[in-house]
Amino acid sequence: MNKEEAQIQINQLVKELNDHNYRYYVLAEPVVSDFEFDMLLEKLTTLEKEYPEFLLPDSPSQRVGGTVTSEFASARHTYPMLSLSNTYSEGELREFDDRVRKLLDAKYEYICELKFDGLSISLTYENGLLTRALTRGDGERGDDVTTNIKTIRSIPLRLVGSGYPELFEVRGEIILPRPGFEKMNLDRIEIGENPFANPRNAAAGSLKLQDSAEVARRPLDGYMYYTLGETLSFKTHSESLEALASWGFKISDKTALCGSIDEVIGFINKMARERDKLTFDIDGIVIKVNSLEQQQALGFTAKSPRWAIAYKYKAEQVTTQLLSIDYQVGRTGVVTPVANLKPVQLAGTVVKRASLHNADIMAKLDVRIGDFVFVEKGGEIIPKIIGVDLGKRDLFAEPVVFIETCPECGTKLERQEGEAGNFCPNEDHCPPQIKGKLEHFIHRKAMNIDSLGEGKIEILYDNKLVKDIADLYSLTYDSILNLEKVFKGNDGAKDKKLSFKEKTAENIINGINTSKSAPFERVLFAIGIRYVGETVARKLALHFKNIDAIIAASNEELQVAENIGEKVAGSIFTFFRKPENLVLIEKLKSAGLNMVADKQPDLLSSNLAGKSIVVSGSFGSSKRRKELEEMVAMHGAKLAGSVTSKTDFVVAGENMGPEKHQKALKLGIPVISEDEFLEMLK
């Protein structure tokens, strides 16, 4: 293939893949399978690596992230991002309508939209290409999160259709849909990390992550609802929404044109009944005057527009009785108290249980068995107890004391300094911890043994066929054939019988054998070391190259690796000081698992061998910065994310972070330019 043919093919693949992205993430009408899409994307990325001069700014390969942003630059909004006036009452809505009627003295209509519970964002498009994304910030200035926004597949990198202005701004909300949020939290609990409080916080935190590759792995979504520009030709807000949809943006279909405030209130009440059926959180309804000319006539106050108001729903709350408290042991040994409640209807579901999180929160709430408690869902997925109705408390109710021993194995619980959770240290013999480690090991993001799903691990454990993760590789077809167990149905559901028939047994053994080809970084994640998630496992594999080097590393040497702090290093170091864990690693080696990282590209030179280098600031483009960061690694050095006493020098571009600069000066670390860095490589 010559260069001309490569360019044509790259352009065709970008166009085709962007169309598939739009159909899948915006229209929800995919026309190819995930596998077919991945094959096309792999073909594109291969061509782009071979012919980097033809990489397009809207290439879908840019959505996978990879850029690490040490600091987010602040930038001024072209148009201030004002907040809306809020109300919780119908009376104040009618007062708003009275003001609009008096100021306009003409016929008008409202458009009602969902008030998404997420993070406000402002996107700038030039000639159809996304060029900048800013958070709200203080309304005048926001953080530039363009690199992270590009990873969200429902946000177009290049607009479709025609008729869009050369330069304009679109505003919307970045959200985390509930299904993705629930799965993210399950994954975090699996690796011993604290779950996010709610989707809004998770979305906001995700956009400020420094590693865009990590942002790309989070199921963020974006809905747009407002357009700004000097050359817009719309007469109404509803027309602008239709235009945004035609240009490839994701627009909510839950809107309503209302000719009166009574119709507005009707829509608010309708959505209050339906909001629990949505796949994402809303906290109210936004009401706007539809005519843009009338919006201009109404104008603004110092803080908000006079032509719009937000009606906010009150967080749904009920009172019910606390019947008892159970204590659950997780994979990492953390013990979580769970309140058993008298069943009560809340937000469209029957609530019977609520997390009490940990001993500190239990003590702060001072919940007692028999108390009538206030339970709220609000933005939370899992109901939480927010208080106690002391007026209904039994005079003889006694304070609840957090248990001192593990409810499963009887081991005395421990609590580490600086952590909220009490945990069972008997990780090798506590049944829920063992089963939890096994379930984590087979997880899709770990060893990906799909054939060992829900319930099957429990059958193997109950039959004493597996007591640790390495035992999975000793299983045979004959040893598992015809195993079975009856699982009791909850809440009146039928009992479920699970049997290992011929095909099931064959699939399990095949899945276990296939997992032996998993790369080292996934094996490292699957082992289940506390605080070692996917990203940390990848960084460890990249830095140390093999399991023996990690085992031999001191606490200080572990912290030299990127993204490995004192807490994580301490956990890794402690894990490999236990003889039983070293025996486990030897068993996994004998089973044939990968304990060595894939071969890295050959170094161009060893000019920078052993050095720790920080790259900070901008160098004309994100692509150029990435090239410089790659040069650091290709000449034998370690690319560090922050300035420490171990940093050898900083390569500084424009707008270098002031904190990094001051720290480098304080520590006497050289700060050099791009040209000086390139000269050093010669």
Residues 354 and 276 in one domain: no
527 Cβ neighbours under 8 A, 6+ residues apart: 441, 469, 584, 585, 588
Considering the domain architecture, whether residues 307 and 327 belong to the same structural domain is answered as: no
Specify whether 98 is located in the same domain as 172.
yes
Structure tokens at 167: 């330069």
Residue 413 lies in a domain: no
> 221 and 267 share a domain?
yes
Q: What is the mean pLDDT of residues 579-596?
A: 95
CA–CA dist 549, 100 (Å, integer)? 71
Mean pLDDT of the chain: 86
Domain-embedded: residue 636: yes
* Least confident piece of the model among 12-16, 82-86, 385-389, 627-631: 627-631
Q: What is the DSSP string of 430-466?
A: -HHHHHHHHHHHTSTTTT--TTS-TTHHHHHHHTTS-
280, part of any domain: yes
Bigger pLDDT: 141 vs 660: 141
Inside any domain, residue 412: no
In the predicted model, is pLDDT for residue 600 greater than 60?
Answer: no
Q: How confident is the model at residue 441 (pLDDT cuts 50, 70, 90)?
A: very high
Weakest-pLDDT range from 218-232, 474-488, 647-661: 647-661
Tokens representing 118? 């997420």
Q: Report the number of distinct structural domains present in the chain.
A: 6
Let me know if residue 401 belongs to a domain. no
What CATH number does the domain containing 357 carry?
2.40.50.140
pLDDT at site 563? 67
Give the pair of three-digit tokens for residue 430. 């506590």
CATH number of the structural domain spanning residue 637:
3.40.50.10190
Share of residues in the chain with pLDDT > 70 (%):
92
**C-beta of residue 665 within 8 angstroms of C-beta of residue 658:** no
Highest mean pLDDT among 339-353, 479-493, 505-519: 505-519
Task: Single out the residue in 485, 517, 549 at which a domain terminates.
Answer: 517
CATH of residue 16's domain is: 1.10.287.610
pLDDT at 549: 94
Residues annotated as part of the active site: 115
Is 43 contained in some domain?
A: yes
Task: Give 284: exposed, middle or buried? Use CB within 10 Å, 0-12, 13-18, 19+.
Answer: buried
Q: Is residue 69 predicted with pLDDT exceeding 70? A: no
Name the least confident of 3-17, 45-59, 244-258, 637-651: 637-651
pLDDT band at 194, cuts 50/70/90?
A: low
Q: Which residue has better confidence, 319 or 193?
A: 319
More confident residue, 514 or 138: 514
Q: Are residues 388 and 530 in the same domain?
A: no
Same domain, 224 and 123: yes
Q: Region 585-601: what's the mean pLDDT?
A: 87
Q: Is the pLDDT of residue 381 over 60?
A: no
Least confident of 134-138, 191-195, 356-360, 513-517: 191-195
Please report, to the nearest 10 degrees, the dihedral formed by the alpha carbons of residues 349, 353, 355, 358 taken in order.
Answer: 170
**Residue 406 is assigned to a structural domain of this protein:** no
Residue 98 resides in a domain: yes
CA angle 646, 649, 655 (to 5 degrees): 120
Task: Verify that 537 and 498 share a domain, yes or no.
Answer: no
Q: Which residue has the higher pLDDT, 364 or 196?
A: 364
Q: Is 423 helix (H, G, I), strand (E, B) or coil?
A: strand
Q: Are residues 118 and 229 in the same domain?
A: yes
Boundary of a domain, candidates 392, 416, 446: 392
**Cα–Cα distance measured from residue 240 to residue 171, given in angstroms and rounded to the nearest whole number:** 12
Decide which of 474, 497, 517 is a domain's last residue: 517
pLDDT on residue 574: 93
- Give the residue, 36 or 650, on which the prediction is more confident: 650
358 with 458, same domain: the answer is: no
Same domain, 79 and 162: yes
This model's pTM is above 0.85 = no
- Structure tokens given for 67: 């850029």
- Domain of residue 435 covers 431-517
Res. 67: pLDDT tops 80:
no
The predicted-structure confidence for 159-172, as pLDDT tens digits, reads as follows 988 899 999 999 99
Give the pLDDT score at 584: 95
What pLDDT, on a 0 to 100 scale, did the predictor assign at position 34?
Answer: 64
User: Is 148 in the same domain as 242?
Assistant: yes
Give the angle 367-371-372 at the CA atoms, nearest 5°: 115
Going by C-alpha positions, the residue among 157, 205, 165, 163 that lies closest to residue 185 is 205
- CATH number of 436's domain: 1.10.150.20
| pLDDT, tens only, 630-667 | 788 778 787 776 777 778 888 988 777 777 787 888 88
Co-location of 569 and 504 in the same domain: no
Higher pLDDT, residue 194 or 548:
548
Which residue do the tokens 């099931």 mark?
Answer: 504
Highest mean pLDDT among 57-71, 367-381, 482-496, 618-632: 367-381
